[in-house]
Structure 1
Amino acid sequence: MVGTLAANATLLTGLLYYFGFLTTQVFFSYFRVHYTLLGQTTPEILARGVDGLLLPIAEISAAVFLVLGVIRFLRFRLSRRAWQTLLRRATPVAAVLGAALLAVTFAIALNPVPYRRFTALPGLGFALAVVLLIFAWRRWTAPAGSALGVAEWLVAYALVTFGLFWAVADYAGQVGVRRAFETEQALPARPAVVLYSTQKLNLPGEVHCPAPDGAFQYRYPGLKLLLQSGGQYVLVPDGWRRPEDATYLLPRTNTIWLEFSPPGTPAAGC
């Protein structure tokens, strides 16, 4: 039991990290920022993975739990002969269904473009096909030795894991684009940002305010903050649109100061 829990916990952590990592890539590529410049930490990536995969994992877990409950109910309610008859009839059905799912997923893998709308289903179908085929295989063959049996289960576990990572990769791409689009639409409701700098940055909307001490003479209003991570500020203009507007990446230093105010607040003069 400890080994099973440890293996599944490791797999779940890997899926969460992989999803968060791919979502980060897709989200910031939408704003034309390469993810390697942000220095995202492991907790940030895992948190993004939990945020995106929490509901799908709950739904899949509930479905699996329901199937296992039905199997358990039938196992204890049916007689031994009726249970064996059910297994005997279910074996060829599982084999045919598994082979059909496997053929479909291979076809999608060779030409995935027409099936883009079926997000994550090819990977889940592949994982389910492996489970059905291994069930039929174990029912039709004699019990294997301990070493061979362990090898079979390891291969099956690896193939199911491959299917799950395939599904996560598809779903992460869709979620990353959707989150980026929603963020773009919600930019007007985010707090307004005025950037103060001791040096000239040549950003649009620059206001030069000479000061006797020479500190923070340059102001850049009309900005929105997307993220601060890895010592970097990711800023976009208010009303940013993907086709033409730029995204600004600035280091977090003592020469830069950000002032936040409610959205729509006019920038103060010098």
Structure 2
Amino acid sequence: MVAQASFIAALMFYVGVIYTGAYYGYFHLSPFALGFGFGEFVLHSLHLVTFPVLVGAAALFFVVAIAGHQPHKGLHGVLMRSAGRGASALARHYLIVVAAGLLLLVLWWQWQVLLPYRWAGPLLVGFGLVLGVVRQAGLSRPRSPWETALLVLAAGLFLLWAVTLVSGQLGERNARNDARNVTLRTGLVVHSAQSLSLSSWAPGLRHRDLGAGVHLRHRYEGLRLIVERAGRYYAVPIGWRARTDNVFILREGEGVRIELTPGVQ
């Protein structure tokens, strides 16, 4: 159980690193530079637990589980026999499933339209190899352990590749959605004794000079918080664009005060 728990924790850490790297990479940030720890990466991996992912994983597990099994009689057995025959057919022709996955991998590099579904190729290859392992287990003369181990290793690598692609795609998609609805995020109001020269290019950022009689005379509004780490506030202005605009890194000090406000729709 310790080995299994360690493997699951390592897998969640890996998925969390991929997701977090893709998410903050969209904002030109590195999760390692931000100082995320092991536990935070593991928690971020839970973003992968979505309804489509759970349904797809359950369907694949169901097909693999019933392949080669003989269901009982009755209505329930009729349904299970139909599903079992389909799963057994897939297991017998697992090389066709593998070939379909390899074809998708080739088309992935040729057709840009397939980029949102680039995870489908490795998933089909890994799924087909798992079916191949199930088929070998049901043969009267199974192959050598080395061949089975090779199939298991290859299936694991392709499935890990698919999980990597899904995690990265999901992280980038969530970051793009958050950037599109950036006004809903926590707002920042910055008061500074000296001009920070933030408003020369930033869209949506407002600057007010409160006058020489005020110590923190420069007030900046229109910023939205991306993340706060170790006293540093990483923020973007309203109207921020990923391809052309920068991310502000602000830190409170003797001449700078930062206030947090609710996001405004």
What CA deviation, in whole Å up to 9, does each residue of 1:144-200 have, x standing for no partner?
Answer: 7xxx64x55544443232122111122123212221221122222334320134554
1:58 maps to: 54
SS at match of 2:70: helix
Distance 1:162 1:132 in 2: 15
Normalised by the size of structure 2, how large is the TM-score?
0.73
Q: How does 1:164-175 map to 2 (within 5 A)?
A: 164-175=159-170
RMSD (CA atoms): 3.7
Choose the corresponding residue for 2:34, options 25, 31, 38: 38
Contact 1:231/1:251 (8 A) holds in 2: yes
Q: Aligned pair 1:201/2:196, yes or no?
A: yes
Task: Name the count of aligned residue pairs.
Answer: 247
Per-residue deviation at 1:224?
0.7
3-state DSSP class of the match of 2:228?
A: strand
Give the distance between the partners of 2:14 and 2:263, measured in 1 at CA: 35
Q: Which runs of 5+ in 1 are unaligned?
A: 79-86, 266-270
Distance 1:165 1:128, change over 3 A: same
Is contact 2:24–2:175 with CA below 8 Å preserved after alignment? Answer: yes
CA distance in structure 2 between the aligned counterparts of 1:74 and 1:160, rounded to whole angstroms:
25
Q: Tell me the CA shift for residue 142 of structure 1.
A: 3.0
Residue in structure 2 matched with residue 268 of structure 1 by the alignment: none
Q: 1:94 aligns with which of 91, 95, 109?
A: 91
State how far apart, in whole Å, the 2-side matches of 1:213 and 1:174 are. Answer: 48
Partner of 1:83: none
C-alpha spacing 1:36/1:264, structure 2 compared with 1 (3 Å): same
Question: Relative to structure 1, is the Cα distance of residues 243 and 131 closer, same or farther in structure 2, using a 3 angstrom cutoff?
Answer: closer
Does the 8 A contact of 2:186 with 2:260 survive in 1? yes
- Give yes or no for contact 1:38–1:232 (8 Å, CA) kept in 2: no
Q: 12, 17, 20: which is aligned to 1:16?
A: 12
In the alignment, the residues of structure 1 paired with residue 27 and residue 86 of structure 2 have an alpha-carbon distance, to the nearest angstrom, of 54
After the TM superposition, which of the residue ranges 34-43 and 120-129 deviates more from structure 2?
A: 34-43
Q: Which amino acid aligns with 2:51?
A: L
- Structure 1 CA distance for aligned equivalents of residues 152 and 6 of structure 2: 13
Structure 2 runs not aligned, ≥5 long: 75-83, 200-205
Q: Give the counterpart letter for 1:107 in structure 2.
A: L
Mean Cα deviation higher: 62-71 or 190-199 = 62-71
**Which moves more between the two structures, 246-255 or 44-53?**
246-255
Q: Distance in 2 between matches of 1:190 and 1:90?
A: 47
After superposition, residues 71-220 of structure 1 pair within 5 angstroms as 74-77=70-73, 94-96=91-93, 98-113=94-109, 114=111, 115-140=114-139, 142=141, 149=145, 151=146, 154-197=149-192, 200-204=195-199, 205-209=206-210, 216-220=216-220
Q: Which residue of 2 aligns with 1:221?
A: 221
Q: Could you give the per-residue CA deviations for residues 193-250 of structure 1, whole angstroms, max 9, x where no partner exists?
A: 2013455432224445567795x45432211111113543210112223344321123
Q: Partners in 1 of 2:218 and 2:27 — Cα distance?
A: 25
Secondary structure of the residue aligned to 2:176 is: helix
Closer/same/farther in 2, CA of residues 230 and 142 from structure 1, 3 Å limit: farther
Find the aligned partners of 2:69 and 2:89 in 1 and give their Cα distance: 22
Contact 2:132 2:151 in 1 (8 A): no
The residue number in structure 2 matching 1:49 is 45
2 CA distance for matches of 1:220 and 1:89?
A: 63
Determine what percentage of the aligned residue pairs are the same residue: 23
Question: In structure 2, how many angstroms separate the alpha carbons of the residues matched to 1:88 and 1:226?
Answer: 51
